Structure 1
Amino acid sequence: MPTPENQKSRRRKSALIGLFLTLFILTVPLAGGQTYDYEINAYAVYFEVISPDDIKETIEIDLTSHTNLSQYVIYTDYPVDNPSAIVELGKGVETINVTVREVLDGTNAVYLNFPMLKPSQSARIKLTFETRGMISEADGKEQFTYYIKFSQPVGVFHMQLLVPKGYAILSPIIPSPDKVESSTNRLLLEWTRNNIRVGDEFYFIVGFSGEIKIEKPSPLTYLVLFLAGMLLGAGGVYGYFLYNERKREKEMEFLRGDEEKIMAILREGPVLQSELAEKLGVSKAKVSIILREMEEKGLITRVKEGRTYRIYIKE
């Protein structure tokens, strides 16, 4: 494993401004390879952009110990403010101690001290802190850059970037995300890599526009919108009444047309109300309504006959 000095020298040669983070481990060289104090089953990094100068970073490590283990160390070239961490052991969750020390100029070591893990015991460590400096301006747009190099094998590596509402993702996006999810208040980008080997390194670059400023409408704008709403509402009410009136007129015309048909039938003689429905080809309920209208006008007389009425022309 290269010393911190060698790591720093390599970073100065890099053209990217990014996060240099290595997993600190104790290794014991053996014939044919290396063994480690623990096995990293999964390693995940979550970034939430609050503003170009404020990023919330969360690191989750799922590991299985091969020896008695009570400390894990992470190196980062960026500030570590307000760190907090927990460890999940079985069904329990404990808050663990976090200590940040500057080991080289600009490089911080984050020491996570937790209850002793015994061989074959698994745990999940979650570290959260505030940082900055990962976003720089390039070609008139913001650019997020992150770099990570692994010093031991990892089963699954997951990276997530959360950009809030008000920002637009622009090129470049390197590498292409495995998942993009958009909602009303955020944009989520995710990358996943499996079977990480010793020395594997990844660069993540995402460009996005600055925050979109939305000016608050003036009182005059609210007044105009209110008046427009009133006019639309009044127009809607008038249209509704006009529609109902025209509909009623058409219904009356329809009734008058049926009235003439009924009068023509009755001139041939009285008819049962049930027979009128068949002759007119309409429902019995419709006939009942028409006859009631005609009776109110004094055109016909209805005489009860069994369960129905016999209809006569009124003389």
Structure 2
Amino acid sequence: MKKKVSLGFKLPAGMKPPEAFELVSSEGADDPAAYLAHLEDSQVEGIVTGMGRRFDVSLISKLPARIKIIATASVGFDHIDVKAAAARGIAVTNTPDVLTDATADMTMLLILNVSRRMREYLELMKEGWGKSLGFEGMLGFDPAGKYLGIVGMGRIGQAVAARARAFGINIAYHNRHRLPPEKEGDAHYFSSLEEMLPHCKILSLNAPATAETKELLNKRTIALLPKGAIVVNVARGDLINEEDLIEALANGHLGGAGLDVFKNEPHFNRRLAEFPNVFLTPHAASATVETRTGIAKRAFENVARVLSGEAPRDLVQAP
């Protein structure tokens, strides 16, 4: 008899479910009580989840004893209390590497959309255009020759840098540790975020959500950016103080923003959508068939290993 695994989302079209175990959908079991009942009634031994469900200490303490793994189909795992899971002997895994390219692509999409004022052009075309912009009207700026400051130079940050170089963009970065020369290349390392920001016409946030990175972009740090700089965030909404961001957009200090992540997803501060120089996407950086399929397969691989008594490929360690 196949072991059962709870699945918290629908698979991409055309993807075949794994043969190693039986998937049981948890869709509809939204509140904790209903979810716990689903896990108990379905007799599952593993959980595959997205970021929409929060596994806090309260929920984890009530999980059925047979649960051996919580596999999140994401790189981030801040929605799971890893320490609480470890205390119960439950492995927690994520899916690194798989979404690096798609997320880096989305970063560049946001940079180009904001720097070249695509949202404003789109709105103009929806209204019927009808009048010449003039030689000087609605001008964006060329990213080439400007400095892109990358906060968090991990896999995704490095992939962003590689793409940006192809556009002639200069790279600066702030990271906990300096990259080795072969990875750093021509990028300029700043051990201090405050020292890097004044150089950045473009700022890309690619760091994980931690106590240290919480609201790292705030009124004080935004003020260090040059006037007209743009901010892009495909990492986590908690990295930005949204009220301070809105203030800087309203007073014209920032020239725009491209945001794929927000503090209270799937809800967000609707005032952000009122700015014509802000381009918003619904946490969709990994939203390609190929990437989402790869993410699901990686999560299933981790589950299969744990349920067969092996070590998972992507075990998350408690901080």
TM-score (norm. length: structure 1) = 0.23
TM-score (norm. length: structure 2) = 0.23
Q: Which has the higher helix share?
A: 2
Higher Cα radius of gyration: 1
Q: Which has the higher strand share?
A: 1
